[in-house]
Amino acid sequence: MTSTDTTDQDAPRYVRLHIELIAEITDEGALKAAALEQVAADEYLDDDERAQSVEAIEVDPAGSLAHFIDPVALLGDVPGVELASATWESAKTDFDPEGDEWDEYAVEEPAE
């Protein structure tokens, strides 16, 4: 099959994207308040889901951060792509910004 062969062009092609982010929480109170506000305003949550969300937010800042992850926003403006499935989790991690094992994840600071 060549790149110009059109026999399979109608067949969906699935791609798994694996993205790992490490976020530093600099204001846990602000994050928690914003997450609680977002959960309260979410018209798609039923009462049980809302209660579970509030509990996750109260227990761990990682639970708060999870409410701001929106995979649809990552792919929403990409032409020719439709999000088929998404899962994610947030959890505390040991992170040493000076450690060698994290070099590949370093975010470059913009030049001034």
Whether the predicted pLDDT of 30 surpasses 90: yes
Across the range 100-108, mean pLDDT stands at: 62
Look up the pTM and report it: 0.65
pLDDT in tens, 45-101: 999 999 999 999 998 888 888 888 888 888 888 898 888 888 888 888 887 777 776
Please provide the distance, in angstroms rounded to a whole number, between the alpha carbons at the two ends of the chain: 49
H/E run at residue 73: helix 71-75
pLDDT in tens, 14-24: 888 888 888 88
- Residue 55's nearest CA partner among 68, 67, 42, 70 is 67
pLDDT band at 1 (very low <50, low <70, confident <90, very high): very low
Cα angle vertex 75, ends 51, 15, to 5°? 105
Across the range 22-29, mean pLDDT stands at: 91
- 3 state SS of 80: coil
Q: What's the one-letter identity of residue 74?
A: L
Other CB atoms within 10 Å distance of the CB of residue 64: 25
Instruction: Answer whether 83's CB lies under 8 Å from 75's CB.
Output: yes
